[in-house]
């Protein structure tokens, strides 16, 4: 398939000028003159047959057509830049973005990274943390590690392992606990899951705490 001619220099000039809403700032970023940016944008407008900017006293304002073109170019240039960054010492390193709950990332995931890189030297992992309530697509995650039953909208889930669910306390408090409902005499702390104590007390034969 023959690809249609793409005016790359005019597209770069427009994208930079649209981001900054300034020919001057775009020229500084691209290391060219103000006149060169203006000329490239004018050439693109002539090729497309529409006006992309409205010139006003305070700078530039995108037209409807310009607003439609800018996000497409932003995404395209970002993807190109991200791909070029994947090359290290002449080799392509695949970038994989993983999201995980902070405690899980610190306690389980990070200690295993050295072994992962030994087995997969050409994969570059980028790890970000979340509070288990996350939209993987919005965050740009390739994989997201979460606690739950795996029934998440528009996602394919695979069980890594089941984690125990047990309360923790100091030895001094433990000595005062004879039955499950004794925990109600103390301040109950939880993580991001609001139902933790209700679930545990239900399994242990206790009374769920009152809604807070």
Domain membership of residue 158 (yes or no) is no
pLDDT-wise least confident of 50-54, 109-113, 202-206: 202-206
CATH of the domain at 117: 3.40.190.10
Banded model confidence at residue 8, pLDDT cuts 50, 70, 90: very high
Beta strand 59-62 with 53-56 is antiparallel
Mean pLDDT of 169-193: 88
Domain membership of residue 152 (yes or no) is no
Which carries the bigger pLDDT value, residue 102 or residue 138? 102
Whether the per-residue pLDDT at 207 is higher than 80: the answer is: yes
Q: Give me the phi and psi of 119, to 5 degrees please.
A: -85, -25
Percent of the chain surpassing pLDDT 90: 44
Mean pLDDT of 54-65: 91
Domain membership of residue 45 (yes or no) is yes
pLDDT at 28: 96
Whether the per-residue pLDDT at 107 is higher than 80: the answer is: yes
For tokens 């030297």, name the residue. Answer: 121
d(CA 127, CA 27): 35
pLDDT at 67: 96
Do 81 and 108 share a domain, yes or no? no
CATH of the domain at 37: 1.10.10.10
Whether the per-residue pLDDT at 89 is higher than 70: the answer is: no
d(CA 173, CA 186): 9
Domain membership of residue 81 (yes or no) is yes
> What's this model's pTM, rounded to 2 decimal places?
0.50
> What's the distance, Cα to Cα, between the start and end of the chain in Å?
63
Which carries the bigger pLDDT value, residue 159 or residue 194? 159
pLDDT at 212: 58
Domain membership of residue 64 (yes or no) is yes
Coil, strand, or helix at residue 100? strand
Which carries the bigger pLDDT value, residue 115 or residue 141? 115
Q: Please spell the DSSP secondary structure of 127-196, one letter per residue.
A: EEEE-S---HHHHT-SEEE--S-S--TT----------------HHHHTT-SSGGGGGGSPPP--S-TTH
Range of the domain at 111: 91-145
d(CA 70, CA 76): 10
Do 118 and 132 share a domain, yes or no? yes
Query: 178 with 204: CB under 8 angstroms?
Result: no
Domain membership of residue 159 (yes or no) is no
Coil, strand, or helix at residue 22? coil
- What is the domain count for the chain? 3
Percent of the chain surpassing pLDDT 70: 97
Domain membership of residue 54 (yes or no) is yes
Banded model confidence at residue 63, pLDDT cuts 50, 70, 90: very high
Banded model confidence at residue 35, pLDDT cuts 50, 70, 90: very high
Do 61 and 120 share a domain, yes or no? no
Domain membership of residue 150 (yes or no) is no
């Amino acid at each position: 398939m023959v690809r249609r001619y793409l005016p790359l220099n005019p597209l770069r000039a427009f994208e930079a000028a649209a981001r900054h809403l300034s020919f001057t700032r775009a020229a500084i970023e691209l290391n060219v003159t103000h006149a060169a940016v203006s000329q490239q944008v004018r050439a693109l407008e002539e090729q497309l047959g529409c006006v992309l900017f409205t010139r006003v006293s305070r700078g530039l304002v995108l037209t409807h057509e310009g607003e439609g073109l800018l996000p497409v170019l932003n995404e395209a240039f970002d993807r190109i830049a991200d791909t070029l960054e994947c090359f290290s010492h002449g080799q392509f390193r695949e970038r994989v973005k993983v999201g995980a709950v902070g405690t899980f990332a610190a306690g389980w995931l990070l200690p295993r990274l050295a072994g992962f890189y030994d087995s997969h030297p050409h994969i570059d992992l980028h790890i970000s943390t979340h509070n288990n309530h996350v939209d993987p697509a919005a965050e740009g995650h390739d994989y997201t590690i979460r606690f739950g039953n795996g029934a998440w909208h528009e996602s394919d889930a695979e069980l890594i392992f089941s984690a125990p669910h047990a309360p923790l306390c100091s030895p001094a408090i433990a000595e005062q606990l004879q039955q499950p409902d004794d925990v109600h005499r103390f301040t109950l702390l939880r993580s991001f899951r609001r139902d933790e104590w209700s679930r545990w007390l239900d399994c242990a034969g206790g009374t769920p705490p009152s809604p807070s």
